[in-house]
Structure 1
Amino acid sequence: MPNNSLSLDNYLPFRLSVASNAVSTLISSAYDSLYALAIPEWRLIWVLNEDGPSTQREMVQRTGMDKVTVSRAAHSLAKRRLVTRSPHEHDGRSHHLILTPEGQRLFNDVAPSAGEFERQVLEGLTETETALLKDVLRRIETAAIERRRHLEL
């Protein structure tokens, strides 16, 4: 007999996944049609704009995306000359990804629409609710990362 006390629609990992997929699908279709950008590519551009030159390993840690996704996105962006790869001074197998001037222009073009998408998705929430939601999501992320580290020990 199934456990009725646990409902899929009320299960937090499911709700987070479904909400994330809905928002990503909305944004992805717009970024793809307007800028020929996939979500992982946009995330890398945004991180490089915000953090400056970064290795792919740093990108994996910063974005939570897996190595293959980051590698593919970096390759695609380099092919489009939106990022360049510079040798890492201490690790010959690693490279720094650097946003090119063209990549910076693209970021400057896309960023306002990214802000508008966020505004539209959150328009049913008050400023207080939005701040609380973002805080709770950060805390959930931190707890999950800490739990995973504990399990890896």
Structure 2
Amino acid sequence: MRRAPTALSRLDSEREAALRDLDPLTIAKLWDNPCWLSFRLNFIAFRFNDPVYRWIETRYGLVRPEFVALYAVGLKDGVAAKNIVSSSGLPKNTLSRAIQKLLQRRLLKRETDRDDLRSYVLRLTSAGRAIFDETMPLMVQQQTTMLGGLTEAEQRQLCELMDKLVIASPTWPNDLEQEGIST
């Protein structure tokens, strides 16, 4: 079995002490796992997303797909629903329902796309913008906390490495059976 590149035997004493706070299965999934990258990405994403989305649902009554859509439009006003689908990884029907709810709650508005009069784009309403602006500091703080164990140079390096993975992602298979990887 191929282990993660940072095998436990090479961890410094400070990190070894921190491992005492993790359960044995998490340790195995992080360091004794041939799919170490996938697990680590999911583990970190969950540790960010779970508290953030729980807080947003409690405070604003928005479930995850609804906030994903609102956040996307907050980042790029005038975006089409198909772009939110392709950037989020959520199913089209899930995001379609979420967008409909946001339109009903008047957090989003739909307008004809000026560049393609047959298409529509989404924009935040003032109420939607208020939610976006209120959630951003909490999300930034969560990210800052998570990155707190890295130096500024390490944070830049992590960002650059993640950029490379994202840029390469269109070349990855979408269907393992079609790519001849099936068992």
Q: What's the counterpart of residue 152 of structure 2?
A: 127
Q: What's the counterpart of residue 5 of structure 1?
A: 2
Q: In the alignment, is residue 77 of structure 1 matched against residue 102 of structure 2?
A: yes
Q: In the alignment, is residue 61 of structure 1 matched against residue 58 of structure 2?
A: no
TM-score, structure 2 length as denominator? 0.68
Pairwise mapping of residues 95-134 of structure 1 onto structure 2 (< 5 A)?
95-134=120-159
In structure 1, how many angstroms separate the alpha carbons of the residues matched to 2:54 and 2:81? 25
Q: What's the counterpart of residue 48 of structure 2?
A: 23
Counterpart contact for 1:24–1:39, Cα < 8 Å? no
Return the structure number with greater helix share.
1
Secondary structure at the residue paired with 1:86?
Answer: strand
Which stretch shows the higher mean deviation, 4-13 or 27-36? 4-13
User: Higher Cα Rg: structure 1 or 2?
Assistant: 2
Query: Deviations along 1:58-103, whole A, 9 cap, x unmatched?
Result: 21233343322321221221121100122446364x4211111111
Q: In the alignment, is residue 34 of structure 1 matched against residue 31 of structure 2?
A: no
Higher relative contact order (CA 8 A, sep 6+): 1
Q: CA RMSD in A?
A: 2.6
TM-superposed deviation, 1:146: 2.1
In structure 1, how many angstroms separate the alpha carbons of the residues matched to 2:151 and 2:101? 38
Query: AA paired with 2:137?
Result: P
Which stretch shows the higher mean deviation, 114-123 or 15-24? 15-24
User: Unaligned stretches of 5+ in structure 2?
Assistant: 4-27
Query: Deviations along 1:7-51, whole A, 9 cap, x unmatched?
Result: 753421222122222221121112222222333333322322232
Which stretch shows the higher mean deviation, 8-17 or 111-120? 8-17
**Percent of aligned pairs with the same residue?**
25
User: Unaligned stretches of 5+ in structure 1?
Assistant: none
Secondary structure at the residue paired with 2:172?
Answer: helix
Q: What's the counterpart of residue 14 of structure 2?
A: none
Structure-2 change in CA distance of 1:108 and 1:88 (3 Å): same
TM-score, structure 1 length as denominator? 0.79
Secondary structure at the residue paired with 1:54?
Answer: coil
